[in-house]
Amino acid sequence: MKKTRKKFDPRYIVISIIVIVVLMVVSGSFYSVKEQEQAILTMFGKVVRVDTAGLYFKVPFIQRAHLIDMTTHGIGIGYTVQDGQNITVDDEGIMITSDFNFVDIDFYLEYKVSDPVAAYYNCENPELVMKNMALSCIRNTVVNYPVDDVITTAKGQIQSEVKEKLQNELTEKDIGLMVVNLSVQDAEPPTEEIVQAFKSVETAKQGKETAINNAKKYQSEELPKAEAAADKIIQDAQAKKESRIAEAEGQVARFNEMYEQYKLQPHITKKRLFYETMEDILPDLKVIISDGNTQKMLPLESFSSVEGGGNGEN
């Protein structure tokens, strides 16, 4: 007895195709958006809407959903990371300062998408455009500072200015990105010789500050002493001044009194003045007694110097 073979029914193929098409339509009709994403729904190249987190329906084969990552990203400017180490990119990191020196300065830029439509449509590679903008802003800012300020005290001011300039340019160009944070990672001279020179400069600056502090300390210690000595000199001078004035006033009073006596007895006053003057200018005057005729003159003090009761020669 021969077995009869069942003929293959082509309806199964049609049904299978229909099922596959239905599954594709159903799967293509829905899309989900994660918490840190936004979706741009387009139809024939035009934006229909922007969706946040959730499950959404779209017309299959006609509408398309483009997912945009809205999280914060970071890139290095002036260096790249390879095997966990920072590798300097000379074309980006080496910059000139206001005093015509070179400095190797690295930045870390954090950014995120602020406008998903602009980020998707207005620029083919917004991250690269933003990095070039950042390099331009950094160079335009660093060139306004001397090299020692860039390496030491001006880092905060520089990164603040660069961040403001970059955000203004991103807003003007409207590429859908915004600056979250910008920080200076490192700033140093580009060669070892210059590094040593800058270390010497920093040492000299520290020595300068030490000398200034010592000078201020010495000033604070010596200035009160000098002021006290000056006050003493002024007081002594004032006392001497008052003494001389009093002495002069006394001499004037004596002169006036003498003048009154002179007017009454001019001859007697003249003699008295003469004798007083001679006493002042000739205190060791020797008196000689002579009769005017004898050839031998005896000084008066020789007699007065003989002790009383002594034995003298005849």
- Rounded to an integer, what distance in angstroms lies between the CA atom of residue 2 and that of residue 153? 101
Q: What is the mean pLDDT of residues 32-52?
A: 90
- CA-based nearest residue to 184, from 99, 103, 129, 83: 103
Residue 249 corresponds to which tokens in the numbers above?
């006033």
Residue 208 corresponds to which tokens in the numbers above?
């300068």
- Rounded to an integer, what distance in angstroms lies between the CA atom of residue 195 and that of residue 190? 8
pLDDT in tens, 64-111: 889 999 999 999 998 887 777 777 776 788 888 998 888 888 999 999
Q: What is the pLDDT of residue 126?
A: 92
Between the CA atoms of 117, 123, 127 and 130, what dihedral angle is there, to the nearest 10 degrees? Answer: -110
- CA-based nearest residue to 46, from 63, 23, 58, 29: 63
- CA-based nearest residue to 28, from 20, 37, 36: 20
Q: What is the mean pLDDT of residues 106-125?
A: 92
Torsional sign, CA 48, 52, 57, 58:
positive
Q: What is the pLDDT of residue 300?
A: 47
- Rounded to an integer, what distance in angstroms lies between the CA atom of residue 260 and that of residue 256? 6
Number of neighbours of residue 182 by Cβ within 10 angstroms: 23
Q: How far is CA 29 from the centre of its chain?
A: 62
Is 14 a residue whose pLDDT tops 70? Answer: no
Q: What separation in angstroms does the CA of 187 have from each of 88, 142, 155, 300?
A: 11, 11, 8, 105
Is 292 a residue whose pLDDT tops 50? Answer: yes
Q: What is the mean pLDDT of residues 198-210?
A: 80
Q: What is the pLDDT of residue 294?
A: 52
Is 23 a residue whose pLDDT tops 90? Answer: no
Residue 93 burial (C-beta neighbours within 10 Å; 0-12, 13-18, 19+)? buried
Q: What is the pLDDT of residue 161?
A: 95
Q: What is the pLDDT of residue 99?
A: 86
Is 247 a residue whose pLDDT tops 60? Answer: yes
Q: What separation in angstroms does the CA of 295 have from each of 16, 64, 73, 290?
A: 179, 157, 134, 9
Is 29 a residue whose pLDDT tops 70? Answer: yes
Per-chain mean pLDDT for the chain: 80
Per-residue pLDDT band at 164 (split at 50, 70, 90): very high
Find which of 8-12, 67-71, 218-222, 299-303 is predicted with most confidence, using mean pLDDT. 67-71
Q: What is the pLDDT of residue 313?
A: 43
Q: What is the mean pLDDT of residues 265-291?
A: 68
- CA-based nearest residue to 75, from 149, 147, 150, 183: 183
| Ordered domains of the chain (ranges, CATH) | 11-69 (no CATH), 73-190 (3.30.479.30), 266-295 (no CATH)
Alpha helix positions (H), 78-191: 90-93, 116-121, 126-142, 147-151, 155-173
- Rounded to an integer, what distance in angstroms lies between the CA atom of residue 158 and that of residue 292? 113
Residue 179 burial (C-beta neighbours within 10 Å; 0-12, 13-18, 19+)? buried
What backbone torsions phi and psi does residue 308 show, to the nearest 5 degrees? -65, 140
Q: What is the mean pLDDT of residues 242-261?
A: 83
Q: What is the pLDDT of residue 59?
A: 82
Q: How far is CA 207 from the centre of its chain?
A: 17
Per-residue pLDDT band at 307 (split at 50, 70, 90): very low
Per-residue pLDDT band at 123 (split at 50, 70, 90): confident
Q: What is the pLDDT of residue 270?
A: 75
Is 195 a residue whose pLDDT tops 60? Answer: yes
Q: What is the pLDDT of residue 62?
A: 85
Q: What is the mean pLDDT of residues 298-310?
A: 48
Q: How far is CA 85 from the centre of its chain?
A: 32
Is 311 a residue whose pLDDT tops 60? Answer: no
